[in-house]
Structure 1
Amino acid sequence: MLEVALAQLDAVAERLALDPGIHKRLRQPQRSLIVSVPTLMDDGRLEVFTGFRVQHDLTLGPTKGGIRYHPGVNLGEVTALAMLMSWKCALIGLPYGGAKGGICCDATRMSQGELERMTRRYTSEILLVIGPDQDIPAPDLYTNEQTMAWMMDTYSMHRGITTPGVVTGKPLLLGGSLGRAEATGRGVYYVVKAAARDHDVPMKGARVVVQGFGNVGAVAAKLFYEEDCRVIAVSDSKGGIYNANGLNIAQVLAEDAEGGSVTQHRDGDRISNEEILELECDILIPAATEGQITRKNADRIRARIVAEGANGPTTPEADQILAAKGTTVIPDILANAGGVAVSYFEWVQDLQQYFWHEHQINERLSEVMISAYQRVVALSRKEQVDLRTAALMLAVKRVADGKRLRGLYP
């Protein structure tokens, strides 16, 4: 993932004729912290996990990015994701740099007590680099608003004052924002609607496929269903279901909550996560994990629009194949930027201690996402490049311009 992120930066730097010194600075994160996270397990054992927090760039403001708990977490992955967060924040115009963090662990096998003790110890180990005006974590894979509540409390206890702005994605009672939980999926929905208009794809009856029925995919599927689209297939880690006439997403959501998987739904045929990507459809939303569309299956993708709900679901080789086929790919740094946009709204509300109505948040999110989409499309047409290249050009240029204006210290 880091190799891909660096290759993308190098290609864009060449297109922009970026200053070599600034290019070198952008290839390296400004700070990388590796911490030991000793945790007392329920059976009395002491387990030692490895945690990370990487701050890629602080030029435009404090850094922002999620915390993930996953067995695959490593320094390279976290560094790549921090870099992508820099571009994502710059692209949609937020006063943030990018960061990412995580712990290498299997959260699915840990109790609530073990997760709390691990989270609090991890937070205490990264205290020196986080803060509401320094670096603001948020939820990511296998972390949630409860994780953020523990982090906020640990930070606040060390500082001796309640500091809700140190994290976003918190419970409402502790300074969270309305609309935050649905923000990423809602952002995907907004940019897809804009792209559908551009490509003469009527939303009513449009065939939608969603790989990954988690927080992002489930919200997006629900919004498309309410828009009278035909959501013909959805999947989660256990597999998927397909119905050419369209699934009842309200029912799938209810059954998913009860049974823990979309595969419990009976009104459709079982389908694998590999097969779901190759269904003929108007809109495909890969919202699971990275590396799902590759050179091996890209030529079998039959969607008109691919909107990347996940980070890095399409490899560079697949990008080239899809571009040659005329498939429109809305890149991750644009398509799934709704989460960080509403995280920014939450941070602003915490700092002001003044909270907005949900309709205000959704309106502002729509404005941010559609405005960013329009800027990307305009540059894409002007430079005759795909949407990913255009998005990266806009984002990298904004950060590079900030570095040039600030100069080099000392």
Structure 2
Amino acid sequence: MPAPLLSLTWTDHVTGRQGFLVVDRLVRGVCSGGLRMRPGCTLDEVTGLARGMTMKEALHYDPSARYVPLGGAKGGIDCDPRSPEAYGVLVRYLRAMRPYVEHYWTTGEDLGLNQDLVDKAAREAGLVSTIQAVHPLLEDETEARARLADAFAVRVDGLGLDELVGGCGVAEAVLAALDRAGHAHAGARVAVQGLGTMGGATARFLARAGLTVVAVADVRGTIANPAGLDVEALLAARDAHGGVDRAALRPGDRELPGEAWLSTEAEILVPAAVSYAIDEVNQQRITARWIAEAANMPVLPEAENLLAARGVTVLPDVVVNSGTNAWWWWTLFGDIGADPDEAFAHIRRSMRALVERTLGRAAADGTTPRAAAHALVADRLPEIADRFGWYATPRKDAP
């Protein structure tokens, strides 16, 4: 794969903290990818995530849709989001990146940040919106922005629609894999690492589909119950960072060490928290049949090779967790409205079709699902480039 189009490192003049922006590719002059904040974030990490965003965009390319995939990008800040200095660092980072956000890079929440906080910091940094770079590509900017704002205002059973769409996509990917293997939904056991936005929504949708969530892990450890956890009670007991108040646990719920979720007796593992969670050492503890990557890059390549050799299927992040990004653009460009039923139905159809294509290609080529997804991207990127150019085509506001 070619080197990224743009790669830069920023150093905060107040704290010395570093931040990164990587633009992997532009389509119609614009790229898309979230902004994360975590201690230890590196340029290499952000580079890999930006390449992943290029792939997610390409995998959802539909020539008949209003939404046209953008290029891939990612931002990252090496700072603990719980630190008192974190918000100031975020504001100064966005202020420094303002020219890119205004013209090229559309961004939003990622690991360690939520959209409300990103929007607040963006306003303080002088930005109209974190997705304003895409506005010139819209047929009716005012209508599109109103539609997206309406969608973000929708709540479903106590949670925002924007908090649920990603988990809906992850859950549908899992269900599609089960269906392809002829495995019943009812009683299939799931362990989830991380009960934040993605992990929490995934747990809710899987539980409502009849699966049994037997373990969840947060920053304080693993909560397990082989008979099944009360997912809704745990969701209601979360703090802003996905930590669960142990006072909400029932008598049959057990508190276990942090990595206990890996060795839980379950058919499906859903790493939905940090990157690089599964390595070539701890993968030995896994007995699950499927791993659905709700987080970005949670399984290291060496671990994935070892897992594949013993029959464990890794459903890759570029497929599994692509629903959130796609939902933003489906809504903004007008493929769907600000309606939860319409959104969930569209996500389910699209994710199921994508998983079917990916697993079908893997079976046909005798490769892993990740290799199959890469092959699908390799087929689509030239088609996108031929239609829209390698970098940009003239915008509506161009002379």
For the aligned pair, the TM-score class normalised by the smaller chain equals 0.7 to 0.9
Judged with a 3 Å threshold, the aligned counterparts in structure 2 of structure 1 residues 198 and 121 are, in CA distance, closer, same or farther, namely same
Q: Could you say which residue in structure 2 is the equivalent of 1:344?
A: 329
When the two structures are superposed, what TM-score results if normalisation uses the length of structure 2?
Answer: 0.82
Structure 1 residue 389 corresponds to structure 2 residue 336: no
Letter in 1 for 2:123: D
Percent identical among aligned pairs is 30
Show the 5 A alignment for 1:11-410.
23=1, 26=2, 28-38=3-13, 46-59=14-27, 62-93=30-61, 95-110=69-84, 115=87, 117-131=88-102, 134-154=104-124, 157=126, 162-163=128-129, 165-166=131-132, 177=152, 178=154, 179-257=161-239, 260-261=243-244, 263-264=246-247, 265-266=249-250, 267-348=252-333, 355-403=337-385, 406=389
Residues paired across the two proteins, number: 365
Q: Is 1:236–1:262's contact at 8 Å kept on the other side of the alignment?
A: no
1:214 CA displacement: 1.4
Letter in 1 for 2:79: C
Judged with a 3 Å threshold, the aligned counterparts in structure 2 of structure 1 residues 257 and 102 are, in CA distance, closer, same or farther, namely closer
Judged with a 3 Å threshold, the aligned counterparts in structure 2 of structure 1 residues 134 and 175 are, in CA distance, closer, same or farther, namely farther
Q: Which runs of 5+ in 2 are unaligned?
A: 62-67, 135-144, 155-160, 393-399
Q: Could you say which residue in structure 2 is the equivalent of 1:42?
A: none
Q: Is 1:241–1:262's contact at 8 Å kept on the other side of the alignment?
A: no
Judged with a 3 Å threshold, the aligned counterparts in structure 2 of structure 1 residues 263 and 92 are, in CA distance, closer, same or farther, namely farther
| Partner secondary structure for residue 68 of structure 1 | strand
- Alignment RMSD (CA, Å): 2.9
| Partner secondary structure for residue 303 of structure 1 | coil
Q: Is 1:34–1:53's contact at 8 Å kept on the other side of the alignment?
A: yes
Alpha-carbon separation, structure 1, partners of 2:17 and 2:147: 30
1:400 CA displacement: 4.3
Which digits, 9 at most, give the CA deviation of each residue in 1:262-315, with x for residues without a partner? 644243112223221112211111112122222213233111221111111112
Which digits, 9 at most, give the CA deviation of each residue in 1:123-171, with x for residues without a partner? 221122123x62201101221122332255357x46xxx5574289x99
Judged with a 3 Å threshold, the aligned counterparts in structure 2 of structure 1 residues 394 and 340 are, in CA distance, closer, same or farther, namely same
Is the deviation greater in 139-148 or in 190-199? Answer: 139-148
Letter in 2 for 1:261: V
Which digits, 9 at most, give the CA deviation of each residue in 1:235-280, with x for residues without a partner? 1011011111111111222233499426442431122232211122
Alpha-carbon separation, structure 1, partners of 2:45 and 2:342: 35
Alpha-carbon separation, structure 1, partners of 2:221 and 2:73: 32
When the two structures are superposed, what TM-score results if normalisation uses the length of structure 1?
Answer: 0.80
Q: Is 1:152–1:166's contact at 8 Å kept on the other side of the alignment?
A: no
1:322 CA displacement: 1.7
Alpha-carbon separation, structure 2, partners of 1:58 and 1:173: 23
Alpha-carbon separation, structure 2, partners of 1:171 and 1:189: 28
| Partner secondary structure for residue 40 of structure 2 | coil
Letter in 2 for 1:142: G
| Partner secondary structure for residue 281 of structure 2 | coil
| Partner secondary structure for residue 266 of structure 2 | strand
| Partner secondary structure for residue 285 of structure 1 | strand
